[in-house]
Chains A and B, each alone.
Chain A
């Protein structure tokens, strides 16, 4: 809005670095085999932040974090016992895992509604304290059997028993573009197939045809609830409900109550939508990485000058030299007989493994791989 009014940026000046502070994120999960606390520094202008490809096992350093290594992180249980965390970094032996502190405390042994006290002492003598009480409720360790979910017709109605000590319930749906998460005080929720993801600026659909999507409902304590429901005002830097003394961050707890896996589908009425199998000359079949394809028109274009959005899944050849998912996500576009398909490394839209560009010839998509080269023919099955 300001840009529309002509506000402009000027007077960019260098400023002095400020004093860095300790930040921690910790969750006690009733379903986790170990409990992990992340310890890092706030950004203060002394470190160049870098973002290598995200690695789930190295969640701090691969996500622009400034890890605090060498800290003594301890947990006092409701019974008074003190546990000490081990930092992944030296244990991993490959330099990764800095700032990731792990308590070998299975979630199933957590004392419900008892208070756990976290203490962090850095090598410079800084100390951070926080505490949490783990809510009650029966923890669900494995997902329900996958079920097909027709985005056009279905709605997932989910209920769960009230959990003692829970401040709220955290509902989270994984999507290729980032999760949709919200809190509710109710013990039921309805997720219609056409639900939009208001956590994304583009308000995309939550459910994307062709993708398996996980839904979890967790009972959370007040620290978890307060930390994720609040934000700092970008101008004043106020607003976050910080529950960590002498530092920033939170130490909360979570009990997973519902765990669903939905295989999202949609009617395949458009000409390009359908199941495809790979055909072609023998050398092309041998060299090609894919076996088949399932495509949906995720959203038809609202403008004549823009393509339709496609989604779906691809059946990969999994080999020793090409490990990974057997079925992976596909996102793409189609317009005027031209098609572009982004084959994802897994199911996240942010990680594309290969792109195929081509055209639609009747029931066949003929295209060329951008990275590996080579052609592919996908024929729609009747």
Chain B
């Protein structure tokens, strides 16, 4: 990709983003945008003093929209990232073109009013042209649905970009990987397509085992990842103890994973940021997609409204293994989970973009044991009830407005060639509830936050500057007791408030140098803690397609999980740093190289993560006392990861990910390898269109992770105060395993081949795509855990397997 021409037309500069391999502007033009502020100036959009900004006059407008396409095997529309949107007929000096973001959206700023031809092209799709009229001071929306067109691939190759191509040129993007929905389609799935399982196949990301979708990123613990849905935090994005994530496949437009030296707008976690973007459907009318599998059914209704100014979607999913079981057997595992997701966007008058996201999900494990079928006992009549559920609730609204070129009122300083204001309000909660015997024992945990965040971003010829804030209040409760006996085991309540100010500057120092620097100032009530976290990343272009990167940054985490980091975890129980619990912190250091190729890219990055303080849940904590919830440790993780992505002319795509990592933790002079310390991890993922079929495959190979061998067992004796005697003949023998040296052994290597095939039929606009996924095709016996028995004079060790051969069959339908 070469640099685009640059021209200045008398006066202020407005930059049309998307060109130039180092992010240099591909078009500059004289613009003023009085009209763009005609409504916005009266709207307290950001709370960031928009009155300080004033606009200038010019007969220009904006062109925005979204590019989508129908995936090969899915009826749903998916966002097309990296599509080129070119405008002609604007009487400007150069051919303006931008590239769509991961969610398929684009924005062309400061387009001269009048007739314009929009040309949208992307590899694998037929080029589309639309004629529009740009109204002065207004935003003209263009939504384009691309159609697959294999025979024109060659002609389109020159303009095609991979998903993260723009990011490569525009930002240092250290440790950042973006995937669009199309890239994830066709990856073999386990029962349900799952975006987080795809993320596990990326470099730097370790999956502890098949039963856990928790992420261990570059040596970090699985509670060190910030997971965002459209920018709003999701505190526990997993179902069934981590077997599935909360994100329905049809609702995901794309993802971005940042594994190191985050930009300063991100914080609060030590290891990674996973941003999941909802898919928007720009088609008018009501459209339906459904995915029916052996495990669950999900459905999504979506479309556009308001003459294309708005989009909406509603989606739901429920597992029905419990309902299916009840048909065939009395022994029903009384568990299900469900998800509800809603999303809407709308272009308000004045060029204000409104986006709202709502998500609710719940796992439910309720049972009346008296209704279970009997086994060895003649009746279950005496059994009691248990109720167990946990889930997330997320509500978020974002308002954004592009102001164009703006100057400060006092000194007329130019803030940039274009300015974007954004304001977010969200509420996110995660709660768990366990009730045994109708109040005989209850345990609940709740984390609710209300978050206000905003930013102002200015873009200029050399600098993209951002300034933002985030104010969050939390309500955290963690309690256990018995309503029946009137006793309280423990009762923790926290109501901290956190405040963040952050600044970020992407500086195009020269055609070869790209620098992103930032500072994050954070404070937390309850601990009276405040800190500055600098971030810096630098990219040096050896050539337009080859760059070297380095980065460093300090990260902190004030929300800690009590779940521990064992091989299996049901969910997180979050508590905040306070006068007893310190704030964890770490430094990231990264250096790497990346090369863009015609058919993909190759990236190699080395990383060092030095934990000044990492907290480890204390299994023996006394719930009646504060301060012993966590142990403090220091840590070090380092290694390198390699990502090679390809997208061939035939439509085949995929990636190879390799990670070498080494992690240690140290406490009280004792050093150990944490459970996620995996030395080698290789994943190869590929998808191939073959006529109306789409084939997918994944092969993974990983060296073993450490575990603590059990070296013996102890029988716990019970003292009976009523008899003043040891032992009462209680039929339950309390046997406790005794652990040896911590994580002193390692599981054997694991490997697995997964395959997926789907076929698409189209009839009168409807698509039907049945699919078959087979996980662990050749039945590799990968070890999940070992169980020991020392009760005989011939001690034994048994292995419990990870996934056996797991076929899953389903069909996706689109109307």
Contacts and interface: CB of A to CB of B under 8 A. Distances in A.
Contact of B384 (A182, A204, A216): A204
Contacts of B722: 143, 172, 174, 214, 216, 259
B286 interface: no
Given A184-B487, A189-B487, A300-B381, A21 B712 contact: yes
Given A189-B486, A232-B738, A45 B726 contact: no
Given A5-B211, A12-B798, A21-B712, A45 B792 contact: yes
B738 A179 contact: no
Contacts of A179: 718, 720, 728, 730
B381 A170 contact: no
Contact of A54 (B620, B727, B791, B795): B727
Nearest to B368: A302
B721 A45 contact: no
Contacts of B726: 25, 27, 36, 38, 59, 100
Nearest to A240: B736
Most buried by A among B240, B384, B623, B624: B384
Contacts of B787: 9
A198 B440 contact: yes
Nearest to B442: A198
Contact of B441 (A13, A48, A198): A198
Given A5-B803, A9-B798, A196 B436 contact: yes
B788 A15 contact: yes
B715 A309 contact: no
A351 interface: yes
Most buried by A among B240, B373, B724: B724
Interface in B723-777: 723-733, 736-740, 742
B713 A10 contact: no
B719 interface: yes
Contacts of B333: 4
Contacts of A183: 489
Contacts of B386: 203
Nearest to B730: A178
A303 B721 CA distance: 38
A168 B383 contact: no
B797 interface: yes
Contact of A231 (B370, B622, B736): B736
Given A54-B727, A302-B381, A9 B799 contact: yes
Q: How large is the interface on A (under 10, 10 to 19, 20 to 34, 35 or more residues)?
A: 35 or more
A307 B380 CA distance: 8
Contacts of B737: 232, 234, 237
B566 A333 contact: no
A256 to B, nearest CB: 5
A31 interface: yes
B708 interface: yes
A233 interface: yes
A136 interface: no
A321 interface: no
Contact of B721 (A29, A49, A302): A29
B241 A1 contact: yes
A49 B790 CA distance: 9
A1 B243 CA distance: 11
Interface in A181-197: 182-186, 188-192, 194-197
A170 B369 contact: no
B371 interface: yes
A170 B721 contact: yes
B378 A333 contact: yes
Nearest to A27: B719
Interface in A134-193: 143, 168, 170-172, 174, 177-179, 182-186, 188-192
Main secondary structure of the interface of B (DSSP, over half): loop
B379 to A, nearest CB: 4
A197 to B, nearest CB: 7
A14 B794 contact: yes
Contacts of A81: none
Contacts of A168: 624
Contacts of A229: 622-623
A328 B693 CA distance: 72
Contacts of A100: 726
Contacts of B567: 235
A107 B485 CA distance: 30
Main secondary structure of the interface of A (DSSP, over half): loop
Interface string B383-407: 1111000000000000000000000
B461 to A, nearest CB: 56
B714 interface: yes
B800 A48 contact: no
A196 B798 contact: no
Contacts of A20: 712
B379 A307 contact: yes
Contacts of A10: 781, 798-799, 801
B440 A203 contact: yes
Contacts of A8: 800-801, 804
Contacts of B488: 184-186
Interface in B132-166: none
Contacts of A40: 715
Interface string B337-371: 00000000000000000000000000000001111
A367 interface: no
Contacts of A309: 379, 381-382
B688 interface: no
Given A9-B801, A65-B715, A307-B378, A230 B721 contact: no
A192 B485 CA distance: 7
Contacts of A249: 714
B630 to A, nearest CB: 14
B710 A195 contact: no
A25 B717 CA distance: 7
Contacts of A174: 720, 722, 728
Interface string B309-327: 0000000000000000000
B247 interface: no
Given A45-B795, A232-B737, A298-B381, 14 more contacts: A12-B799, A17-B790, A18-B711, A38-B726, A45-B712, A179-B718, A189-B487, A192-B485, A197-B437, A204-B384, A248-B714, A303-B373, A349-B731, A351-B729
26 contacts: A6-B804, A8-B804, A9-B801, A14-B795, A14-B796, A15-B795, A21-B712, A31-B724, A32-B724, A40-B715, A44-B790, A54-B729, A59-B727, A143-B722, A168-B624, A179-B718, A190-B485, A195-B437, A198-B437, A232-B736, A238-B742, A299-B370, A300-B381, A303-B330, A303-B381, A350-B731
